């Protein structure tokens, strides 16, 4: 078993080691600070932050609804919420396109009635990132809410506290470790999103070309140089490591 475990660990570590081995560390600072690389980095940070805000606004109520529902309803809602996790990202992009595209279920009405065009814009990037990242927030927070239970909320309500008071003073503080962990995972997933963004938002420099798309474009002979693509890949790995370390530190310091 130990041998198999070691091979499993190597399967996870060696590809990252191979990536780091290709980095020209002397050129690394220049590669990640080139105009195209900085443009992609800044766009990724802005859209991932916006997507995280969207997920917080929509995901916290959804997680609370699932956690406080009965077993059958909670099971259905949880399955629907986790669907984007098991769908191929490209399928998610196609689904968004047929929902909000010019000939889509809603997009046609938006384009004709209000003159709003969503696909292939920066807003489309945020929507695609929100679609794939929302389950990470909801499932993490829902597990925490279910573990803390509703007994303190019930006591507060019987003492005359309003729903908002119960939420802000009881529910949210108790669920804070799960909320922080879910938010961090949500941001990390949004930052690394590629497939749905490529189909639904396109790959326009400065508009929809996030870091993953800039990396893909470079390795297909356009956009940033291959050195910048490798540097951006390493930068994404470092960001992911920092996020995981932050989550571990938060969970270690969280009250139990």
Q: What is the CA radius of gyration of the chain?
A: 21
User: Which residue matches tokens 């291959």?
Assistant: 226
Per-residue CA distances from 136 to 3, 81, 84 (Å): 32, 9, 10
Report d(CA 97, CA 111) in Å as an integer. 13
Instruction: State the sign of the Cα–Cα–Cα–Cα dihedral 74, 79, 81, 85.
Output: positive
- pLDDT, position 62: 94
- pLDDT, position 22: 82
Which residues of the chain fall short of a pLDDT of 70?
A: 221-225, 247-256
The half-sphere exposure of 197 on its side-chain side, counting CA atoms within 13 A, is 30
Per-residue CA distances from 157 to 41, 168, 244 (Å): 46, 13, 37
- pLDDT, position 155: 74
User: Which residue matches tokens 């769908």?
Assistant: 87
- pLDDT, position 177: 85
- Closest of 220, 237, 215, 230 to residue 31, by C-alpha: 230
Two tokens at 122? Answer: 């920066």
Domains of the chain: 28-253 (1.10.3720.10)
The number of helix segments (H) and strand segments (E) in the chain equals 13, 0
- pLDDT, position 248: 65
Report d(CA 92, CA 85) in Å as an integer. 10
- pLDDT, position 256: 47
| pTM (predicted TM-score) | 0.86
């Amino acid at each position: 078993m130990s041998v198999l475990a070691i091979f499993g660990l190597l399967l996870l570590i060696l590809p990252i080691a191979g990536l780091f081995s290709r980095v020209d560390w002397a050129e690394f600072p220049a590669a990640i600070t080139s105009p195209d690389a900085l443009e992609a980095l800044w766009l990724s940070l802005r859209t991932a932050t916006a997507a995280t805000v969207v997920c917080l606004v929509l995901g916290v109520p959804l997680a609370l609804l699932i956690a406080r529902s009965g077993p059958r309803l909670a099971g259905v809602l949880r399955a629907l919420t986790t669907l984007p996790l098991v769908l191929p990202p490209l399928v998610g992009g196609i689904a968004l396109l047929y929902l909000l595209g010019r000939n889509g279920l809603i997009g046609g009405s938006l384009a004709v009635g209000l003159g709003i065009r969503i696909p292939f814009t920066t807003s489309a990037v945020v929507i695609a990132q929100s679609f794939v990242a929302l389950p990470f927030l909801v499932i993490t927070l829902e597990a925490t809410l279910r573990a803390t239970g509703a007994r303190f909320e019930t006591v507060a309500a019987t003492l005359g506290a309003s729903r908002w008071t119960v939420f802000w003073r009881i529910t949210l503080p108790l669920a804070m470790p799960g909320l922080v962990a879910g938010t961090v995972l949500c941001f990390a997933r949004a930052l690394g999103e590629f497939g749905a963004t490529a189909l639904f938002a396109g790959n326009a420099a400065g508009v929809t070309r996030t870091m993953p798309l800039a990396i893909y474009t470079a390795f297909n002979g356009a956009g940033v140089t291959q050195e910048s693509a490798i540097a951006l890949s390493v930068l994404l790995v470092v960001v992911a490591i920092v996020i995981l370390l932050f989550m571990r530190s938060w969970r270690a310091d969280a009250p139990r």
